[in-house]
Homo-oligomer: A and B are copies of this chain.
Amino acid sequence: MQNSNMGRTNVTVEPSLVVLRLNHRPIRDERVTTHLCMVARAFGADGVLIADTKADEQVKKMKELSLKWGGGFWVRDSVSSMEYIEQWHKQGGLVVHLTMYGEPLETALSEIYYQFHVKSRPLMVAVGASKVRPEVYRASDFNVSVRSQPHSEISALAVFIDKLMPFHNELSTRSQTLQLRARLREKGGISPR
């Protein structure tokens, strides 16, 4: 069980932007979830939480990618989604759920922008694969739709982060900070996961 963190609920809201991947279906969703993780990383999220299931493939691939391309990006699997959201809220975090049934991004963006950039609230972006449970809609501060036609959680996440952090400088300064943190963690013997 060393490699498992099933049911992990002790969270500290330290990162500024994390992605919560809901309803990942092993095998069927492998490539889509991997693309989603790459988008999260390339557009400046700190890491991805994969809810309620193992995702060894993504944890491994993203570790390899970060070794090759830099940055301290992480993927954690088997997190308990509803408990994580609850903890996130308790610690002042904001939860935005991307869904085509939400309010248009155009109307929600300015308030999210304010909460994230001005109030400095850590942000969790939840994205589903298959149908998302009603609890997630209720537990989210915002249910937001990127365009009103069906497309992909990969593109929804990219466009959302791109609009929220348009001046994000492509992992440059931040990746250096994260690399530094990762080195410090290694020295301290703390696992980057």
Measuring CB to CB, which residues of chain A are less than 8 angstroms from any residue of chain B?
31-32, 35-36, 38-39, 41-43, 65, 69, 147-152, 154-159, 162, 170-171
**Are A151 and B41 in contact, with the CB atoms below 8 A?**
yes
CB-CB nearest in chain B for A147: B42
- Known A32-B32, A32-B35; contact A42-B158, beta-carbon cutoff 8 A: no
Contact of A152 among B147, B151, B154, B159 (CB under 8 A): B154
Contact of A38 among B31, B35, B39, B151 (CB under 8 A): B151
What is the CB-to-nearest-CB distance from A34 to chain B, in angstroms, rounded to a whole number? 9
**Are A170 and B151 in contact, with the CB atoms below 8 A?**
no
**Are A38 and B147 in contact, with the CB atoms below 8 A?**
no
CB-CB nearest in chain B for A41: B149
- Known A152-B35, A154-B35, A162-B159; contact A147-B43, beta-carbon cutoff 8 A: yes
